[in-house]
Amino acid sequence: MITQPSDPSTQHSTLSPQSSTLNPQHSTLNPQHSALSTQPSAPSPQSSTLSPQPSDLSPQSSVLRPHSLLITGGAGFIGSNFVHYWIKKYQEDRVVILDALTYAGNPANLEPVANHPQYRFVHGDIRDYDLVVNLLQEEKIDTIVHFAAESHVDRSIHGPDAFVDTNIIGTHTLLKAAKKVWLDRSSEKSESSLIAQSSVLSPPSSLCRFHHVSTDEVYGSLGLDDPAFSETTAYAPNSPYAASKAGSDYLVRSYFKTYGLPMTISNCSNNYGPYQFPEKLIPLLILNCLAGKSLPIYGDGLNIRDWLHVDDHCRGIDLVLKKGTVGQTYNIGGNCEKTNMEVVEAICRLMDELSPNKDSVPYSSLITYVKDRLGHDRRYAIDANLITSELGYAPAESFETGLRKTVEWYLANQDWCQNVMVGNYREWIEKNYED
Ligand code: NAD
Ligand code: TDX
Give the pLDDT confidence of 9-26 residue by residue, as tens digits: 333 333 333 333 333 333
Closest residue to atom 1 of ligand 1, CA basis: 76
Whether residue 128 contacts residue 16, with contact meaning beta carbons closer than 8 Å, is answered with no
Which residues is 369 bridged to in the sheet?
Answer: 297
> What is the Cα–Cα distance from 214 to 301, expressed in whole angstroms?
25
Q: What are 171-205's pLDDT values in tens digits?
A: 999 999 999 999 997 555 544 454 444 445 678 88
> Residue 25 Cα, ligand 1 centroid: separation in angstroms?
29
Q: Cα angle at 431 between 426 and 435, to 5 degrees?
A: 130
Indicate the average pLDDT of the chain.
86
Q: What are 24-59's pLDDT values in tens digits?
A: 333 322 323 322 233 333 333 333 333 444 344 566
Q: What are 332-350's pLDDT values in tens digits?
A: 999 999 999 999 999 999 9
Give how far the C-alpha of residue 322 lies from the chain's centroid of Cα atoms, to the nearest Å: 17
> What is the Cα–Cα distance from 238 to 233, expressed in whole angstroms?
15
> Residue 72 Cα, ligand 1 centroid: separation in angstroms?
9
The DSSP 8-state label assigned to residue 304 in this structure reads E
pLDDT at position 354 over 50 = yes
pLDDT at position 313 over 50 = yes
Give residue 202's pLDDT. 75
Q: What is the best residue among 166, 217, 275, 281 to mutate for testing ligand 2's pocket, by most ligand atoms within 8 Å of CB?
A: 281
**Across 39-43, 74-78, 381-385, 399-403, least confident range:** 39-43
Of ligand 1's atoms, which has the minimum distance to the CA of residue 277? 3
In this structure, the residues whose C-beta lies within 6 A of any atom of ligand 2 are: 151-153, 215, 217, 270, 280-281, 284, 296-298, 303, 305, 340, 373
Give residue 32's pLDDT. 30
- Residue 172: CA atoms inside 13 Å, Cβ hemisphere, count? 12
**Across 190-204, 207-221, 230-244, least confident range:** 190-204
Mean of pLDDT values over 420-433: 93
Residue percentage of the chain with pLDDT more than 70:
82
Q: What is the best residue among 128, 151, 173, 268 to mutate for testing ligand 1's pocket, by most ligand atoms within 8 Å of CB?
A: 151
Q: Ligand 1 within 6 A of 335 CB?
A: no
**Across 36-45, 287-296, 377-386, 412-421, least confident range:** 36-45
Whether residue 68 contacts residue 93, with contact meaning beta carbons closer than 8 Å, is answered with yes
Give residue 187's pLDDT. 57
Give residue 360's pLDDT. 85
Closest residue to atom 21 of ligand 2, CA basis: 280
Closest residue to atom 4 of ligand 1, CA basis: 76
CA separation, residue 295 to residues 72, 270, 271, 308 (Å): 32, 19, 19, 22
Residue with the bigger pLDDT between 92 and 38: it is 92
Q: Ligand 1 within 6 A of 78 CB?
A: yes
Q: Ligand 1 within 6 A of 327 CB?
A: no
With 0.75 as the threshold, say if the pTM is over it.
yes
> What is the Cα–Cα distance from 395 to 247, expressed in whole angstroms?
28
**Across 32-46, 60-74, 116-130, 397-411, least confident range:** 32-46
Residue percentage of the chain with pLDDT more than 90:
78
Beta-carbon contacts of residue 193 (< 8 Å; ≥ 6 apart): none
Give residue 362's pLDDT. 97
Give residue 45's pLDDT. 30
> Residue 18 Cα, ligand 2 centroid: separation in angstroms?
42
> Residue 280 Cα, ligand 2 centroid: separation in angstroms?
6
Closest residue to atom 16 of ligand 2, CA basis: 281
- 259: phi > 0 → left, psi -120 to 50 → alpha, else beta; which? alpha
Mean of pLDDT values over 358-377: 95
Q: What is the best residue among 147, 241, 340 to mutate for testing ligand 1's pocket, by most ligand atoms within 8 Å of CB?
A: 147
Give residue 38's pLDDT. 32
Of ligand 2's atoms, which has the minimum distance to the CA of residue 154? 20
Return the ligand number nearest the Cα of 163. 1
**Across 43-57, 144-158, 221-235, 367-381, least confident range:** 43-57
Give residue 363's pLDDT. 98
Q: What are 133-178's pLDDT values in tens digits?
A: 999 999 999 999 999 999 999 999 999 999 999 999 999 999 999 9
Catalytic residues: 216-217, 241
Q: What are 249-295's pLDDT values in tens digits?
A: 999 999 999 999 999 999 999 999 999 999 999 999 999 999 999 99
- Is the Cα torsion angle 339, 341, 342, 348 positive or negative in sign? positive
Strands 337-339 and 304-309: antiparallel
